[in-house]
A and B are shown apart, each in its own frame.
Chain A
């Protein structure tokens, strides 16, 4: 299943760094895009939600969607050790279905 591709990492950065996490997708009908954070042995936690193209900012987090390139990004500014987790992208077609398609997740470690 290659609907959504995400580099699994692991990614390791020093505290305070800017982190860039990315997903690519193949289905041009995807319109709803989400980023989830998943701590070990926990369920995914919704971080950011965007519809169609553009940017969305929430505190230290910025989500970007480039539909022409079928590419989405999550940026984390001033990264903290508490940001260490697995980050999952998920997306859905507007017109059909209820299911979201997930990436494999990128494991991030922020080193103090």
Chain B
């Protein structure tokens, strides 16, 4: 069964450093998303991406964050100048259609120290 692949599975970074989280969505999917889940809290929407541009972003997704689809397969989330409160599981997801359910990746656990 096709799956969304995320790397790395765990990233530890020092406060103030930049991190790039990588995702390979399912090949025929057209919509791409990043969500995050702080330990013990809800899964929260960060951003959606369609047709090579951001289609929607939450208030969490401020200037510290950016997304790219640098080639036909990868989808990345960059976090500049990480803060302690950025520590969370970051999930990439993709879907064929915006009205359809997502397929999530297994997540990247980001720990900012």
Contacts and interface: CB of A to CB of B under 8 A. Distances in A.
Chain A interface size band reads 20 to 34
A49 B107 CA distance: 22
B18 interface: no
Given A43-B104, A46-B102, A98 B41 contact: no
A33 to B, nearest CB: 10
Contacts of B55: 98
A44 B104 contact: yes
A32 B58 contact: no
Interface in A69-96: 88, 90
Interface in A14-58: 32, 34, 36, 41-46, 49, 51
Contacts of A102: 42-44
Contacts of B44: 102
Interface of A: 1, 4, 32, 34, 36, 41-46, 49, 51, 88, 90, 97-105
29 contacts: A1-B42, A32-B99, A34-B101, A41-B106, A42-B106, A42-B107, A43-B4, A43-B6, A43-B91, A43-B104, A43-B105, A43-B106, A44-B91, A45-B104, A46-B103, A49-B100, A51-B99, A88-B43, A97-B56, A98-B33, A98-B48, A98-B50, A99-B45, A100-B45, A102-B42, A102-B43, A103-B42, A104-B41, A105-B42
